[in-house]
Structure 1
Amino acid sequence: MTDRKEFRDLSTPAQARDAIDGLDLAPDAERVPLDEARGRVLAERVDAGLDVPGFDRAAMDGYAVGGRDTFGADEADPVVLDLVGTVHAGAEPDVEVEEGEAAEISTGAVMPPGADAVVMVERTTETEAGVEIRTAVAPGDHVMLAGADVAAGERALGPGTRLTAREIGLLSALGVESVPVRGEPVVGIVSTGDELVRPGEDLDSAAGQIYDVNSYTIAAAVAEAGGDPVLYPHAGDDYDEMERLLRKAAAECDLVLSSGSTSASAVDVIYQVIEERGELLLHGVAVKPGKPMLVGRLDGRPDESADDPAEPSGGSAYVGLPGYPVSALTIFRTFVAPAIREAAGLPEPATATVTARMAAEERYGEGRTRMLPVGLVEAPEAVGEEGDATGAAGGDRDLLAYTVDKGSGATTSLVEADGVVEVDADTAYVGAGESVEVELFSPDVRPPSVLGVGEDDPALARLLDALDRPRYLAVGSREGLRRFRDGVPDVVATTAGSPAGDPEPLGAYDREWGLVVPAGNPEGIAGLGDLVDRELRFVNRGTDSGLRTNLADALADLADERATTRHELVEAIDGFELAARAHESPARKVAAGDADAGLGLRATAEKLGLGFVSVGTERVRLFANPDRAEKPGVEALVTALDERLAAILDELPGFGQ
C-alpha cells in the first residue's frame, strides 16, 4: 500500500514564486527566417549593413532641378527650364540635369546627376518652351537623401525588441533574411489520471470518464505566454507509466507541466516520481484554488546510447498543477506564466486592473490567499458608456464584481469570470459594496453588454444569440430572483414568482412542460399520478428551477383531489429529490435508460426523439432592473424580443405567446 503524503507546512505565494524563479527555463537563442520572426524577441543587436534608402530619391512626383535655378520663381514670375527627360522609379537615370534644365521624376525614383531638389508637379506647367516653375526650392527640398532612414553601421534594433510588423518592415528594408531571436521555452504538458479521455475519443461517463480539459487550456495559455507547448499522451495513475512519460518530456523540454495527481491522496503519486527521479522543491501552497502545487526539477529519461544507460539524459524544470481546470489555470497564470514570459524575453503584459464594488459579502476563513474569480457588470451610474472594462472610452466606470465560484471542477467558471480578486489570507470577509481591485484576465476584457440570470430556457438562449456580448447565468428562477433583488443582474427570466419592487417588464411567452418518457412511452405513463402510484424512476430539476416549483404546485393540486398532502405524494415518488441541473438533463437521463420519466419540456422531448406527457404550460417572463432599462444591452434585448421572438417560438414545439 502506498503511504499517504501529507501536506505539512504550506509555502506562501511569495515562496512559490521564488521557487519557480529559481528554475532555469531559458532555452538557447536561435536564428529564424524573417517570415517566421513575427512575435519573437531579438537575442542580439541588429546593425544596418547598408544605407536606407541606398540612394538620393524623390519624395514626390514632380521635376528634378538644381535648386539654384529656381531662386526667385513664384506664381507671378515663373522660371522656365528646359525638359531633358524622364526618370522612373526602379530605373537608373539616363539623363543628367545641367544648369537651366529639369527632368520629370516619379516618387521614389533615383535623383539624376546634377539635380538636388524636386519641384512638386502641382507648382509646374509644361509648355512648348519647357517646364514653367512657379515656386522656388532649396537644395534638398522634397528629396530623401541616402541613409536618411537608416545609415549603414547604425544601430537598427536592440536585443529584447519584440518583432512586430513595424520591426519586420525595417529588417526587410535592410535586406535581413534571418534574425537571431530568443528561444521559446519548450513546455511539455502531461495530464494525469485514469479517468481522462481526449476530445474526439469515445467517452464512458458511466465509468467516471471525463474529457481532458487541462491539456488544451494549459497549452493555449503556454502559447499566450510565449512558450512552445508540446502535448504528451495523458498518463494514468500507474507509477511506471507516469515516470516514463514525465522523464521523456523532461529530456525533450525546458519545462514540464503536469496536471492532476499532486494532492495528498494515496493514489496521487506524482510527487514520488519527482522525489526519486529529480528534486522536489515545494509541495503545497497556501492559496485557494491551487493548494496542491509541486515545484521541482526532473531528470530526463535514460539515454540508451550512452555508456551507462542508467544515467539520466538531460532534464528540465518541473511544475505540477492541480487537476481541476480552474485551479490549474489560476496557478499557471499566477505563478508559471511570468516565468515563461521571462524565459522567452517577453515583457509583462499591460496592467489590466479595475476598481469595482463587491456585489455581495464574501466570507472566507481558511487561512490561505484566495484567488476569487469574479464577473463584472456595469452599475446604473455607468449605463450608456462604451469601451473596455478599464473605461478607456468612457472614463472611470462604476462596476459591480460578483463571485463566479462553482468550485474548482466547474469549467464554466473559466468563461463566466472576467478577472480575479486576490484576498489576503488574513482577511475573514469582503463586505458588500467594499471596493476591490480586479485583475482582469486580459486588457481586452469588457463587461457583458447585458447580464441576465434566471430560468434555463431554449427560446431565451436563441434570443441572446442576436445580442453583442451578452452573459446569461442559468441559476434557476428562485436564485435568479434573489440575485435580481440584490441588484446584481440587469435582467431576470422567471417562471415561478415575480421580482420584488417595481421591475420593468420586457416580454413574456409560454412553454409546455410535463414528463419526458422513452420513445413510445413503454410504461404507458399518463400523468403525475403514475409517478405516485407506480414504481417508476423519476428525475427532477433542482430546487431553484421554476419547473420544479410548478411541479410542486401541480402535485399540491393532485393532493387536494386525493384529500392528502403534497408531502405524502412527494414521498411516494422514487427520485423526486434526484435533481438535475439543466432543462435537458432529466431528458438525457431518460434517453440513457437511467430513468422512466424526467421533468422537462415538450421541445426537449422532440429534440431528443423521446416521448412526452403534457402536464401544463408555464409563463416565462423577463424583467429588467428599472435603473438599467436604458442600458444599451437591455435596449438591444427589447429589440430582439420585438423582432425575433415570434420566429423563435415558431421553431420550438410547445412554445407560444
Structure 2
Amino acid sequence: MTDRRQFRDLASPAEAREAIRSLDLTPDPETVPLDEARGRVLADRVDADLDVPGFDRASVDGYAVRARDTFGADEADPVVLDQVGTVHAGAEPDVTVREGTCAEISTGAVLPDGADAVVMVERTDEVDAGIAIRTAVAPGDRVMFAGADVAAGSRAFGPGTLITPREIGLLSALGVDEVPVRGTPTVGIVSTGDELVRPGGDLHSEAGQIYDVNSYTVAAGVEEAGGDPRLYPHAGDDYDEMERLLIEAADECDLVLSSGSTSASAVDVIYRVIESEGELLLHGVSVKPGKPMLVGRLEDSAYVGLPGYPVSALTIFRTFVAPAIRSAAGLPDPQTATVEGRMAVRERYGEGRTRLMPVGLVETEEGTLVYPVDKGSGATTSLVEADGVVEVDADTAYLAEGEAVTVQLFSPDVRPPTLLGVGEDDPALSRLLDRLERPRYLDVGSRQGRRRLRDGVPDVAVVSGPSDRDVDAVDLGGWTREWGLLVAPGADVSGLADLVDGDGRFVNRGGDSGLRASLDDELDRVADDRGVDRRDLTDAIDGYDLTVKGFESPARKVLSGAADAGLGLRATAAALDCEFVPLGTESVRVLANPDRTDKAGVAELEAALDAGLDDAVVDLPGFDPDR
C-alpha cells in the first residue's frame, strides 16, 4: 500500500504567516538605468551632489535690478533705469547691473552680477529715457537662489522610497542616470498533475484533460505583487520530474511555487521532494479554501506549495504569498479596500476552519447586499463572479440574513456590477447583456432564478418554461424560443416516442433549467395520452438523468457521438449543424425586483429590451420578440 500523508494538526493562519515570514526570499539589490526605475524601490539613500538650481535664476520674465534702486517707486512715481542688456535662459550673462541700470531677463535665466531682484515685466514700461519701474522690490524678490530646491549634500531620498514619476523628476534634476534599487524577487512556478495542458496545447477532454489555470493566474499575481514570474515546464505527477524541476527552479529563483499535488492522496507526493531535498515547515493550514498548503525550504530558496484547485490556489496566494513577495521587493502593502454590507441570505458554516468566503456585491437603495459565490474550489468562474472575500471565524456556525459583514475587496478598483441578473442561459440574452455597461449574470437556471428573486438578492431574473410558483416581480419584456430535440445525423429519432420506446441515448438539461421544465410538461401530456405516470416515461428514456448545464452542451454531446439526441433550441441546432425535431415554443421573460425598478442598471436593461430586442433575435432561428 502506498504511504499517505494525513492532515492531522493543521497550522493556524497566523502560524502559516509566521512560517512564510521565516523564509528568506529577498533578492540582492541592483542598479538600473533611470528610465527603467519607475515602480522600483530605492535600496540606498540618494544625496544631492549639486545645488538645484545650480545658479541664482529669475522666476519671471522682467528686469534684473538692484533692489535699492527701486526704493519708493510706485504707479504714480516710477523710477526710470537704463537698460544695459538682455539675459536669455541657457546663456551666460555678459552684462553687469550697476547703480541706476537694469537688464532684461527671461524666466529661468541666470541673474547677472550686481542684480539682487527681478521686477516682473507687467510692472514696467518702456519710455524714451529707459525702463520705468512702477513698483518697489526687496532683495530676493522673483529670484530662486542656488540650492533653493535642493542643496548640495542634502538627503534627497531615503532607502525604501517607491519611485514614481515625481521621484524620477527630482532624480533627473540631480543628474542621476543610474539608480540603486531593491532586487525583484524571482518566482519559479511549477504545475503538477497529469491532467493539465498549457493553454494553446492540444486538449483531450475524453482523457480527462483540462487546461492549466494556475500557472498563468499565479504568474499574473506574482507580477502584480512586484515579483518576476518564471514558468517552468509542466511536471505531471512524475516524482522524478517534480524533483528535477523544483531543484532547477530553486537554483535559479528566490521563491519556488508549485500548484497541485499538495493533498494527502497517494499521488500527491510533492511534499516528499521537499522533505528529501530541503525542509518542510508546514503541511496543511486551517483555512477554507486552501487547506493543503505546503511551506518549506528547497536548496537556498523559499518554497510554497499551493493547492491544485484554482480558487484554493489563488486564495492561498493572495492571503499568504503575495504579502511576502511585496515585502521582499520592498513594496508597500496595497491600499486596503473594504466594503461594509449586509448578508443577503443566511449562510451556514461549521467546519472548524477559518473560511475565506468569496462573495459578490449588489447595490440597493438600503445599502450593499453581500451574497456567497461558492461553486467549489475547482470552479474558475468563482474567480470572476466574486468581488472580494468575507473572513469567517472558525468558531462561527452561520451568518444570518441581514447580518453586517466586512468584505475585503480583491483590489481598490473593484466596483459592484451595475446590474445583477440570474436565471436561464439564452443566446438572445447574451446579446442584450453586451449592450449594458457593467452587468453580471449568473446562469443558474429558471427555477433558481425565481427562488433568488423571491429572496430579494438579484436585480432581475430571466426565466422560461412552466412553473407552479409565483414570484412578485415586474415583467420588463421578453421573447419566445422554439425548443425540441437536437438529433445526431442518421439517428432514428423523430419525436419523444422514439426516445421512450427505442434505445436511443439522450442527454438532458439540469433540473433548474426552463427547457427541462418544458420537456417535463410535454412528457406529462404524453403520459396522460398513454394513461401512465410520467415517471414510467422518464425511466424508459436512456439518459434522462444525464444532465448538462449550457444550452449548447447537449448538442456538443450529440455531435461527439456520446448521445443520439439532446434537449435544446432550434437556434443551437442551426449554429452547430444538428438535425432538429421541434417540440414546442416557450416564453422567456425578464422579471425585475419590484424594489429596484428605478435602479440605473435595470432601466438600462429595460431600454435595451425596448430598443434592441428585434436586433438581438433577428438572426436566431426560432426566436421572436414577445413584448
Scaled by the length of structure 2, what TM-score is found?
0.96
Alignment partner for residue 649 of structure 1, among 614, 617, 620?
617
The answer for the alignment partner of 2:175 in structure 1 is: 175
Identity %: 73
The answer for the alignment partner of 1:389 in structure 2 is: none
* Alpha-carbon displacement from aligned partner over 1:48-102 (angstroms, at most 9, x marks no partner): 1111111122222233333223333333333333333332222222333333333
The answer for the alignment partner of 2:576 in structure 1 is: 608
CA distance in 2, matches of 1:189, 1:606: 43
Answer whether contact 2:454 2:472 (CA < 8 A) is retained: no
* Alpha-carbon displacement from aligned partner over 1:114-145 (angstroms, at most 9, x marks no partner): 32222223333334443333332222222221
CA distance in 2, matches of 1:340, 1:222: 7
Answer whether contact 1:419 1:441 (CA < 8 A) is retained: yes
The answer for the alignment partner of 2:82 in structure 1 is: 82
CA distance in 1, matches of 2:128, 2:497: 108
Instruction: Tell me, yes or no, if structure 1 residue 449 matches structure 2 residue 412.
Output: no
Q: Give 3-state SS (helix, strand or coil) of 1:651's partner.
A: coil
The answer for the alignment partner of 1:312 in structure 2 is: none
Larger CA deviation: 104-113 vs 142-151: 104-113
The answer for the alignment partner of 1:495 in structure 2 is: 464
Letter in 2 for 1:119: V
Letter in 1 for 2:577: G
Letter in 1 for 2:414: V
* Structure 2, unaligned runs of 5 or more: none
Displacement of 1:517? 2.4
The answer for the alignment partner of 1:576 in structure 2 is: 544
Q: Give 3-state SS (helix, strand or coil) of 1:25's partner.
A: coil
* Alpha-carbon displacement from aligned partner over 1:192-228 (angstroms, at most 9, x marks no partner): 0111110011100000111110001111111111111
1:5-404 → structure 2 map (5 Å cutoff)? 5-299=5-299, 315-381=300-366, 398-404=367-373
* Alpha-carbon displacement from aligned partner over 1:580-608 (angstroms, at most 9, x marks no partner): 11111111112222122221122222222
Answer whether contact 1:481 1:498 (CA < 8 A) is retained: no
CA distance in 2, matches of 1:498, 1:34: 70
Scaled by the length of structure 1, what TM-score is found?
0.92
CA distance in 2, matches of 1:623, 1:259: 43
The answer for the alignment partner of 2:595 in structure 1 is: 627
Aligned length: 624
Larger CA deviation: 114-123 vs 144-153: 114-123
Answer whether contact 2:493 2:504 (CA < 8 A) is retained: no
Larger CA deviation: 100-109 vs 152-161: 100-109
CA distance in 2, matches of 1:504, 1:88: 74
CA distance in 1, matches of 2:519, 2:561: 22
Answer whether contact 1:370 1:424 (CA < 8 A) is retained: yes
Q: Give 3-state SS (helix, strand or coil) of 1:414's partner.
A: helix
Instruction: Tell me, yes or no, if structure 1 residue 424 matches structure 2 residue 393.
Output: yes
Answer whether contact 2:187 2:222 (CA < 8 A) is retained: yes
* Alpha-carbon displacement from aligned partner over 1:29-53 (angstroms, at most 9, x marks no partner): 1111111111111111100111111
CA distance in 1, matches of 2:323, 2:227: 11
Displacement of 1:489? 0.7
Alignment partner for residue 378 of structure 2, among 409, 417, 423?
409
Q: Residues 273, 83 of structure 1: CA spacing in aligned structure 2 closer, same or farther, 3 A cutoff?
A: same
Q: Give 3-state SS (helix, strand or coil) of 2:618's partner.
A: helix
CA distance in 2, matches of 1:183, 1:43: 8
CA distance in 2, matches of 1:290, 1:486: 30
* Structure 1, unaligned runs of 5 or more: 300-314, 382-397
* Alpha-carbon displacement from aligned partner over 1:512-563 (angstroms, at most 9, x marks no partner): 2222223xx3225322222222221111111111111111112222223333
Letter in 2 for 1:585: S
Displacement of 1:503? 1.8
Alignment partner for residue 559 of structure 2, among 591, 594, 602?
591
Letter in 2 for 1:352: A
Q: Give 3-state SS (helix, strand or coil) of 2:86's partner.
A: strand
1:545-584 → structure 2 map (5 Å cutoff)? 545-584=513-552
Answer whether contact 2:59 2:142 (CA < 8 A) is retained: yes
Q: Residues 399, 655 of structure 1: CA spacing in aligned structure 2 closer, same or farther, 3 A cutoff?
A: same
Q: Give 3-state SS (helix, strand or coil) of 1:18's partner.
A: helix
Instruction: Tell me, yes or no, if structure 1 residue 514 matches structure 2 residue 499.
Output: no
CA distance in 1, matches of 2:475, 2:78: 77
* Alpha-carbon displacement from aligned partner over 1:489-513 (angstroms, at most 9, x marks no partner): 1111111349845422222112222
Give the alignment's Cα RMSD to 1 decimal: 1.7
CA distance in 2, matches of 1:477, 1:584: 16
Q: Residues 537, 29 of structure 1: CA spacing in aligned structure 2 closer, same or farther, 3 A cutoff?
A: same
Alignment partner for residue 523 of structure 1, among 475, 481, 491?
491
* Alpha-carbon displacement from aligned partner over 1:417-470 (angstroms, at most 9, x marks no partner): 111111111111111111112111112211111111111112111211222221
CA distance in 1, matches of 2:127, 2:615: 71
Larger CA deviation: 93-102 vs 528-537: 93-102
* Alpha-carbon displacement from aligned partner over 1:251-291 (angstroms, at most 9, x marks no partner): 11111110100100011110111111111111111111111
Answer whether contact 2:450 2:471 (CA < 8 A) is retained: no
Letter in 1 for 2:587: R
CA distance in 2, matches of 1:151, 1:351: 37
Q: Residues 526, 71 of structure 1: CA spacing in aligned structure 2 closer, same or farther, 3 A cutoff?
A: farther
CA distance in 1, matches of 2:468, 2:529: 27
Displacement of 1:353? 1.8
Q: Residues 70, 465 of structure 1: CA spacing in aligned structure 2 closer, same or farther, 3 A cutoff?
A: farther
Instruction: Tell me, yes or no, if structure 1 residue 617 matches structure 2 residue 585.
Output: yes
Displacement of 1:472? 0.7
Q: Residues 490, 499 of structure 1: CA spacing in aligned structure 2 closer, same or farther, 3 A cutoff?
A: farther
CA distance in 1, matches of 2:475, 2:236: 54
Larger CA deviation: 118-127 vs 12-21: 118-127
Answer whether contact 1:203 1:210 (CA < 8 A) is retained: yes
CA distance in 2, matches of 1:556, 1:197: 45
CA distance in 1, matches of 2:388, 2:375: 15
CA distance in 1, matches of 2:559, 2:128: 93
* Alpha-carbon displacement from aligned partner over 1:368-403 (angstroms, at most 9, x marks no partner): 11111111111222xxxxxxxxxxxxxxxx211100
Answer whether contact 2:478 2:609 (CA < 8 A) is retained: no
Alignment partner for residue 504 of structure 1, among 459, 465, 474?
474
Q: Give 3-state SS (helix, strand or coil) of 2:113's partner.
A: coil
CA distance in 1, matches of 2:128, 2:616: 75
Q: Give 3-state SS (helix, strand or coil) of 2:2's partner.
A: coil
The answer for the alignment partner of 2:435 in structure 1 is: 466
Answer whether contact 1:485 1:499 (CA < 8 A) is retained: no
Displacement of 1:416? 0.7
Letter in 1 for 2:476: L
Displacement of 1:320? 0.6
CA distance in 2, matches of 1:650, 1:130: 83
CA distance in 2, matches of 1:83, 1:280: 82
The answer for the alignment partner of 1:393 in structure 2 is: none
CA distance in 1, matches of 2:121, 2:580: 82
CA distance in 2, matches of 1:104, 1:517: 92
CA distance in 1, matches of 2:624, 2:134: 78
Letter in 1 for 2:545: E
Q: Residues 636, 106 of structure 1: CA spacing in aligned structure 2 closer, same or farther, 3 A cutoff?
A: farther
CA distance in 1, matches of 2:597, 2:191: 47
